[in-house]
Amino acid sequence: MNRMSLTWATGHRTFADAEQWIMNSARDNNFDAVVGVRFIAVPYVSADSMAGGLGVSETSTECQWTVYGTAIGWQ
């Protein structure tokens, strides 16, 4: 191994999207592998306010994924 870099991204809607992103990121930046990968489920809460700002009419919560790891290169 002759180089390494921390790589991460947030806001992926699915685990598979996060996984694909970290693999593509390493490949696109000429790294050979990603080690120490961690996936974290993050709740994302959004709210719509009522007319006139008098309160919240509706809230929703969805799971988004954050992924990080160390990209390594040996060539």
Q: What is the 3-state secondary structure (H, E, C) of the chain?
A: CCEEEEEEEEEECCHHHHHHHHHHHHHHCCCCEEEEEEEEEEEEEEEEECHHHCCEEEEEEEEEEEEEEEEEECC
Domain ranges of the chain: 3-73
pLDDT of residue 11 exceeding 80: yes
Q: What is the pTM of this model?
A: 0.74
Q: Quote the CA–CA distance of 4 and 33 in Å, as a whole number.
A: 10
**pLDDT tens, residue by residue, 31-71:** 999 999 999 999 988 776 665 666 666 778 899 999 999 99
